[in-house]
Amino acid sequence: MAKKILIVDDARLIRNVTQKAVIEAGFEAVLANNGQEGLEALKNNEIDFIFSDINMPIMSGMEMIAELRKMEKYKFVPVVMLTTETKPELQAKAKEMGVKAWLVKPFNKEKFLLVLDKLLG
């Protein structure tokens, strides 16, 4: 059974290219437009790994992570930020919240797959 990767990003292009990379790597992709949809996806799926943007409407990636860390089932699920943000203070806060890696957009398929393999492989 393929592991499920949740991709949370309000940009359709990013969702599409990351979904394609995840499927090509042999995983199943679950997509969400924002943090609130991401939390809904967690309720309806067995998610093994999360890629999330930070800046999104309705609920940010950081807000979503704070909520999912309260869920027993997802307290320790690996989360990687895929974002345009480069602020060290945001990265430090994310690390405190258990974020495993920080990828800066534009999307780089090689780096993306390397992080996925390292954390799930």
* Residues in the chain with pLDDT values less than 50: none
C-alpha R_g of the chain: 13
Q: Which two tokens mark 111? A: 């780096």
- Tell me, what CATH number does 29's domain have? 3.40.50.2300
What is the pLDDT at residue 1?
Answer: 79
Give the distance, in angstroms, between the CA of residue 109 and the centroid of all CA atoms in the same chain. 14
Total count of domains within the chain: 1
Question: Which residues 6+ apart lie within 8 Å of 28 measured at CB?
Answer: 2, 3, 4, 5, 22
Q: How many CB atoms lie within 10 A of CB 101?
A: 19
Owning domain of residue 22? 4-120
Q: Which of 91, 80, 84, 83 is nearest to 117 (CA)?
A: 80
